């Protein structure tokens, strides 16, 4: 078995995302028709800096629904099943995940938590356990196949751990991404999904800075920590102190 490494690829996003969000925002406040505005935007009649400034200012006012018209699609690998159990809690999204029913897990790759990696004894015990699970998976799968199991992987997968690597394609619209980053870029988020969120945010910022330049944990937008005294990392003051 081999340790997996996080890899995040931006596969695609809605074409002309800035102009599309601009047109959607303008339709809310403009007497004209976005369909007439669109060819002019594509022709460059209005420079991108002006579009970006309007989008950023309007979004900062709290009007966010027009950004739902743009979506981003990512391919993720080197993530654990523990991570994807958290990821799919974000319901306004589309997911296509590698199936353990059909993909053989005999030599599964794994995600090693840094806290375990730092303690040699814990790391050794962790790896021995994974080796035992891998051996048990192979033995059970072979027994099922020998005894006429129609899909041995389907039942042998019950042995696989949450550390087992998975691969997944994920699509979210911009509003869902902003919410995702607010929660998962926070220091309170679990370390693996936090690392994923920051990788995704970097790709989004490069593609659409008018929306994502100020995205991130909610404390950066609010200027205070909304998590409360028990959970704050201390980077920002608590709400009760900041709002006095």
* Residues labelled catalytic: 184
Q: Which residue has the tokens 């974000």?
A: 90
Helix axes 48-60, 17-29, angle to 10 degrees: 60
The answer to whether the Cα torsion of 187, 193, 199, 205 is positive or negative is negative
**Which neighbouring-strand residues pair with 95?**
170
Cβ contact 186:193 at 8 Å: no
3-state per-residue secondary structure call for the chain: CCECCCEEEEEEECCCHHHHHHHHHHHHHCCCCHHHHHHHHHCCCCCHHHHHHHHHHHHHCCCCHHHHHCEEEEEEEEEEHHHHHHHCCCCCCEEEECCCCCCCCCCCCECCCHHHHCCHHHHHHHHHHHHHHHHHHHHHHHHHHHCCCCCHHHHHHHHCCCCEEEEEEEEEEHHHHHHHHHHHCCCCCCHHHHHHHHHHHHHHHHHCHHHHCCCCCHHHHHCCECCCCCCCCCCCCEHHHHCC
**Which neighbouring-strand residues pair with 76?**
8, 168
């Amino acid at each position: 078995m081999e340790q997996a490494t996080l890899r995040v690829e931006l596969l695609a996003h809605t074409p002309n995302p800035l102009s599309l969000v601009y047109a959607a925002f303008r339709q809310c406040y403009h007497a004209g028709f976005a369909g007439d505005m669109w060819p002019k935007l594509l022709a460059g009649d209005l420079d991108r800096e002006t579009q970006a400034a309007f989008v950023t200012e309007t979004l900062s006012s709290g009007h966010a629904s027009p950004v739902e018209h743009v979506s981003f699609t990512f391919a993720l690998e080197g993530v654990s099943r523990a991570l994807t159990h958290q990821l799919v809690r974000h319901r306004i999204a589309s997911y296509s995940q590698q199936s353990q029913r059909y993909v053989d897990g005999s030599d599964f790759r794994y995600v090693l938590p840094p806290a375990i990696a730092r303690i040699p004894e814990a790391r050794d015990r962790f790896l021995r356990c994974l080796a035992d699970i891998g051996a048990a998976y192979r033995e059970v799968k072979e027994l099922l196949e020998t005894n006429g199991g129609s899909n041995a992987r389907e039942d042998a997968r019950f042995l696989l751990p949450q550390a087992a690597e998975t691969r997944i394609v994920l699509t979210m619209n911009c509003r869902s991404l902003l919410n995702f980053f607010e929660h998962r870029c926070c220091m309170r988020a679990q370390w693996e999904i936090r690392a994923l969120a920051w990788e995704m945010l970097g790709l989004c910022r490069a593609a659409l800075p008018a929306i994502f330049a100020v995205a991130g944990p909610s404390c950066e937008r609010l200027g205070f920590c909304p998590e409360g005294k028990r959970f704050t990392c201390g980077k920002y003051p608590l709400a009760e102190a900041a709002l006095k």
